[in-house]
């Protein structure tokens, strides 16, 4: 079985990149992360994670979309690759299989 090596924060960033669907770059990803999860991550953490994901081949990027509010500097836009979406799906599938195996009363006890 293909083993996905994806950290928890990496998974979140990858998911958000998928949600943004080609519109993801440093700013939007940071903002979405804060909005949807309540986590305030340092920009450097997001930046590093994106580079790492790209090295693993889960996202690719290209420069473009300079706007005046950023002083005419280009953005690096991220998009999830096929490998990236497969990894996400595999993670989700693995979680679901594991959920199936958890006895109901454990969940109840743990939950209450």
Partner 1 sequence: MNPPRWANRLLQWLHPDETLEEVEGDLNELYTYWYERSGKTRATLRYVLNVVSVLPPFVRRRKRKEEYQPTPNLNSAMIRNYFKITFRTLVRNKLYTALNVAGLTFGISCFLLIGLYLFDELTFDQQHSQTNRIYRAIQHRKTPTEDLTMAASSYNVAEEARKQTGEIENSARIIRTGRSNITNPENKNTFQETTAFGSSGMLDIFDFTVLDGSIKSALNEPNSIVIVEELAQRLFGTTDVVGKTVDFEFGQNRLLRITAVLKNHPRNSSFNFNSMISEATLRADDDFAEMTSDWDSQNFLTFFLLKDNADPTIAARKITDLLNANVQWEPGTSASYSLQPLADMHLRSEGIVDRARNDNVEAMDEGALRYINIFAVVALFVLLIACINYMNLATARASNRAKEIGVRKANGAFKHHLIYQFLTESLLVTTVSFLLAVALTNVLLPAFNEFTHKELSLGIHTDYRIWLSSLLALVVTGLVSGSYPAFLLSGFSPLMLLKNLKTRNKGDSSLRKGLVVFQFTISIVMMIGTIVLFQQIRFANNKDLGFKKELLVVVDINSGDVRSGAETIKAEFGKIPAVKNAAVTSRVPGEWKTIPTVKISREGTTREPDVAYLIGADENFARTFDVQLVNGRNFTGMADSASVLLNETAAKLLGITEAAGQRIEIPSRSWNGGSYRPLNQAEEPFQARVIGIVKDFHFQSLREKIAPMVLAYQRNPVQSIDYFTARIGGSDIPATLAKMKNVITKIDPTDLFEYHFLDEQLARFYAEDQRRQTLLIWVALATIFIACLGLFGLATYAAEQRVKEIGVRKVLGASIFNLTALLSKDFLKLVLIANGIAFPLAWWATSQWLEEFAYHIQPAWWVFAVAGLLSVAIALATVSYQAIRAAQMNPVRSLRSE
Which residues are at the interface with partner 1 (CB under 8 A)? Answer: 25-27, 30-31, 42-45, 47-48, 51-52, 54-55, 63, 66, 69-71, 73-76
C-beta of 63 vs 102, nearer to partner 1: 63
Minimum Å distance from CB 25 to partner 1?
7
Exposure of 90 by Cβ count < 10 A (0-12 exposed, 13-18 middle, 19+ buried)? middle
**Counts of helices then strands in the chain (DSSP H, E):** 5, 2
DSSP summary character for residue 57: T
Q: Which position has the token pair 């960033």?
A: 13
C-beta of 64 vs 94, nearer to partner 1: 64
C-beta of 12 vs 25, nearer to partner 1: 25
Show the tokens assigned to 40.
Answer: 């305030």
C-beta of 76 vs 79, nearer to partner 1: 76
Minimum Å distance from CB 14 to partner 1?
16
Show the tokens assigned to 76.
Answer: 């690096």
Minimum Å distance from CB 71 to partner 1?
6
Minimum Å distance from CB 101 to partner 1?
37
The torsion of the CA quartet 59, 22, 7, 34, rounded to 10 degrees, works out to 150
């Amino acid at each position: 079985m293909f083993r996905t090596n994806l950290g928890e924060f990496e998974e979140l960033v990858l998911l958000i990149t998928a949600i943004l669907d080609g519109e993801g770059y440093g700013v939007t990803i940071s903002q979405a992360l804060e909005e949807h999860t309540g986590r305030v991550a340092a920009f450097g953490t997001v930046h590093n994670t994106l580079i790492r994901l790209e090295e693993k081949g889960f996202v690719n990027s290209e420069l473009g979309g300079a706007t005046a509010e950023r002083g005419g500097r280009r953005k690096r836009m991220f998009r999830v690759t096929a490998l990236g979406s497969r990894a996400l799906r595999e993670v989700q599938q693995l979680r679901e299989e594991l959920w199936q195996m958890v006895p109901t009363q454990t969940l109840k006890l743990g939950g209450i």
